[in-house]
Structure 1
Amino acid sequence: MAVGFLGHEVSDLCLGKPALRSLPLTATLSDAVSALKRSGETSLSVWSCDHSYECECQCECVGKISMVDIICFLCRDENLNRVSSVFQSPISLLLDKDSSSVVRHVEPHSSLLEAIDFMLEGAQNLVVPIESRISKSSKKTLAKGPSFGSTLHNGHEYCWITQEDVVRFLLNSISAFAPVASLSIELLGIIDTDTLAIPYYQPAYAAIEAIALSSKHQTSVAIVDEQGCLIGEISPYMLACCDETVAAAMATLSAGDLMAYMDYVGPPDELVHLVKTRLQEKNLKPMLNLMEEFPLSSSLSSSSCSSSDDEEISVLRRGMSASYSARRVRKSEALVCHPKSSLVAVLIQALAHRVNYIWVIEDDCTLTGIVTYSGMLKVIREHFRSLA
């Protein structure tokens, strides 16, 4: 069973995956915001293309961008008072210097184990060429280089494989690593105690660097009380479903108020008023203009997720997508487990809620640490190595 499982190729994980929509490296933040809202995706691939070749353009995926990156960039001290000009900045400024390691090109015949190794080395997304559904005539038209939202590069369409895809694939063959799956996360030693956390009453802008770091490592920022008990979280997944106006709330509210602002029921009117008042007090007129230019109701038609459900429409009118609220819990409500929870139980919990991590707490709700897909994959990879 294990030998057969180890023989799977990356292409097996690509079945049914949509073609990547892309942004050129020369795009601006304004372009990225528009593309994200049109695409319905929480992130878009960024491509660098060399047009010097006579036959066709040579392209490489060099990173990805989401609303999290844009919001954190807007909240930098040097950008708060020049919002309009910031939106004309190239998206290359938002890409980490090591962003090329965040995405990695792999061949369809690469093995599942190779894919896991790449992810344990830091790759979040594996870019894989897939069979193109574009006609030959269209390929010739697009050969000179990608346009906004283009899915064709180097004569191919691509998809990307995430840690969630790999973990879901592994779950379908759980008997291949059954001895490990039944052990507790405490016994396996995969509880990471080096967590990102911020006190409930601390200003939310103090967490900007932590949020950016959590996005890079696919974790989250915990909100804790004075006793270290977990109250909620500010999650990159949550922010990715918001629009750019949330930057104003992040620049003015406490961490606890920011959670309430982004909850699935939408920001209370008093918090919206508080944000505007504090923007005026801080003389942050450009950020205030941003809220006025894109009112919270404006994202209904451009949201990444649409639904006829009354509750979800209410969410959209408050300036955020309903994709994350599909969990049917408060957006800021953290998913938790206990040190004695088994690996398979935590794995299923994370997959069910479409997150890459689960917080670990004690019986008194004290935050112990966090378990991530990376930690789970490391244990599973070691198990496979022992079988080789």
Structure 2
Amino acid sequence: MSLPDSLNHHREGLTTSHHDWTMLQAKKLVEGQKPVQIDANTSIENACEILHMSGISCAPVYDASRKQYVGMFDYGDLMTYVLLALKKMDVPLEDQSMEMRDLIHKSRQHQQVPVKLASDLSGKDPFCAVLAETRLGAIVNDFGSGIHRVAVMNSNGELAGVLSQSSVLDFLMRHLSEFSHLQPVMQKTLPELGLVNSNVLSVNGDAQVLEALMAMSSNNVTSVAVLDDQGVLIGNISMADIQYIMKDLKASWLWLSCFQFVSKVRQSRGVETGEDQYPILDVNATATFGYALAKLQATKVHRLWVVNDNGLVAGVVSLTDVFKILSAHTDS
């Protein structure tokens, strides 16, 4: 006996078509994942190397002595650490936690700093956990509010995996044909969805990398567009690029021009991926939402710069913007 359509609609697995993606459980999306976690006493430099070698931008920090996760460590935390160590960021004493004071003291005394002092340091992407049974629709709503990733926990308190904005987007795009009610929004253009008239933080290619990082920190953004003298997009610098500054202790890269830095990062990525060129991270202002999502998925980046026909930056589409749109299409 077949179930009525009204029941099938919210019973994932009972039908092979017309899946309701919002009802999928988080544990289904992390099956087979071998999550990376970082020991709380690992040095920041080694923690950064773990992220780089694992090809991830963030990992939970686990304190074995306390038997609990004490935060997330990502490249935003690393950027904040670098700026604090170089005395390029001022935090009022009354706003400093004990951990931050300890970190500042150790870094300026050139002592090894454990990653537990830097986890969640930026305050931009703290440790967020969800139960394995949490529905994808709820996670998408969280992602639309600015959360970038969630730790998926089993009922026994163990880490089952980590769901990021990128991994969820990849899942949705790979199964898009099964989610027919998402098709209409995919055909809309970026202007129709209000994704062009965004304020864009930019720097000139001649500016120092350190200036770009300070601008990103003070404006609470994760990326900055790099423009030439005519205002044409020539690249971008994101928090993830800081891994190339820390790798092999290339601190001198901080004083390169942004143009030089973008070139060096592209060269480094080309060596790692075996590609001659790193893809240009832009999309035309008249593109459809579906095209932008496909490019985000293919390039594995967290944002695309929206450019007009003259190559001038007209906006930016971030993964958070994407999930704001998608969250509007979740089943209430």
Taking structure 2 as the reference length, the TM-score comes to: 0.76
Q: Give the equivalent residue in structure 2 for 1:353.
A: 299
Matched, 1:176 2:200: no
Q: How is 1:144-159 mapped onto 2 (pairs within 5 angstroms)?
A: 156-159=158-161
- The partner residue of 1:28 within 43, 68, 78 is 43
Aligned partner letter, 2:147? A
Cα deviations by residue, 1:313-337 (Å, 9 ceiling, x for unpaired): xx3xxxxxx1xx466524xx64111
Separation in 1, partners of 2:145, 2:193: 20
Determine if contact 1:338/1:361 at 8 Å carries over to the other structure: yes
Aligned partner letter, 2:59? L
Determine if contact 2:284/2:308 at 8 Å carries over to the other structure: yes
Determine if contact 2:191/2:286 at 8 Å carries over to the other structure: yes
SS of residue paired to 2:229: coil
SS of residue paired to 2:296: helix
Matched, 1:74 2:76: no
Q: Give the equivalent residue in structure 2 for 1:305.
A: none
Q: Give the equivalent residue in structure 1 for 2:99.
A: none
- The partner residue of 1:199 within 182, 204, 211 is 204
- Please report how far the alpha carbon of residue 40 of structure 1 lies from its aligned counterpart in structure 2 after TM superposition: 5.9
Q: 1:200 to 1:106 in 2, by over 3 A?
A: same
- The partner residue of 2:135 within 111, 115, 118 is 111
Q: How is 1:82-93 mapped onto 2 (pairs within 5 angstroms)?
A: 85-86=109-110, 88-93=112-117
Separation in 2, partners of 1:162, 1:49: 24
Separation in 2, partners of 1:71, 1:192: 28
Separation in 2, partners of 1:85, 1:175: 58
- Please report how far the alpha carbon of residue 361 of structure 1 lies from its aligned counterpart in structure 2 after TM superposition: 0.4
Aligned partner letter, 1:347? L
- Please report how far the alpha carbon of residue 123 of structure 1 lies from its aligned counterpart in structure 2 after TM superposition: 1.8
Cα deviations by residue, 1:135-167 (Å, 9 ceiling, x for unpaired): xxxxxxxxxxxxxxxxxxx66243100001221
Q: Give the equivalent residue in structure 2 for 1:384.
A: 330
- Please report how far the alpha carbon of residue 8 of structure 1 lies from its aligned counterpart in structure 2 after TM superposition: 1.2
Separation in 2, partners of 1:21, 1:92: 12
SS of residue paired to 1:15: coil
Q: Give the equivalent residue in structure 1 for 2:62.
A: 47
Q: Give the equivalent residue in structure 2 for 1:150.
A: none
- Please report how far the alpha carbon of residue 343 of structure 1 lies from its aligned counterpart in structure 2 after TM superposition: 0.6
SS of residue paired to 1:347: helix
Separation in 1, partners of 2:274, 2:186: 27
Matched, 1:247 2:276: no
SS of residue paired to 2:72: strand
SS of residue paired to 1:64: strand
Cα deviations by residue, 1:253-305 (Å, 9 ceiling, x for unpaired): 21112222333169xxxxxxxxxxxxxxxxxxxxxxxxxxxxxxxxxxxxxxx
Q: 1:34 to 1:344 in 2, by over 3 A?
A: closer
- Please report how far the alpha carbon of residue 29 of structure 1 lies from its aligned counterpart in structure 2 after TM superposition: 2.3
Separation in 1, partners of 2:38, 2:293: 30
- The partner residue of 1:5 within 5, 9, 21 is 21
Q: Give the equivalent residue in structure 2 for 1:17.
A: 33
Determine if contact 1:102/1:124 at 8 Å carries over to the other structure: no
Q: Give the equivalent residue in structure 2 for 1:60.
A: 69
Please, which runs of 5 or more residues in structure 2 have no aligned partner? Answer: 1-8, 10-17, 89-105
- Please report how far the alpha carbon of residue 84 of structure 1 lies from its aligned counterpart in structure 2 after TM superposition: 8.3
SS of residue paired to 2:321: helix
Q: 1:88 to 1:262 in 2, by over 3 A?
A: same
Please, which runs of 5 or more residues in structure 1 have no aligned partner? Answer: 52-56, 132-153, 267-311, 316-321
Q: Give the equivalent residue in structure 1 for 2:228.
A: 225
Aligned partner letter, 2:139? A
Aligned partner letter, 1:44? A
Determine if contact 1:29/1:86 at 8 Å carries over to the other structure: no
Aligned partner letter, 1:345? Y
Separation in 1, partners of 2:241, 2:164: 18
- The partner residue of 2:265 within 255, 262, 266 is 262
- Please report how far the alpha carbon of residue 353 of structure 1 lies from its aligned counterpart in structure 2 after TM superposition: 0.7
Q: Give the equivalent residue in structure 1 for 2:144.
A: 120
Q: 1:120 to 1:213 in 2, by over 3 A?
A: farther
SS of residue paired to 1:240: helix
Separation in 2, partners of 1:236, 1:19: 22
Q: 1:177 to 1:94 in 2, by over 3 A?
A: same
Separation in 1, partners of 2:320, 2:45: 33
Aligned partner letter, 1:368? A
- Please report how far the alpha carbon of residue 203 of structure 1 lies from its aligned counterpart in structure 2 after TM superposition: 1.9
- Please report how far the alpha carbon of residue 179 of structure 1 lies from its aligned counterpart in structure 2 after TM superposition: 0.9
The number of residue pairs the alignment matches comes to 295
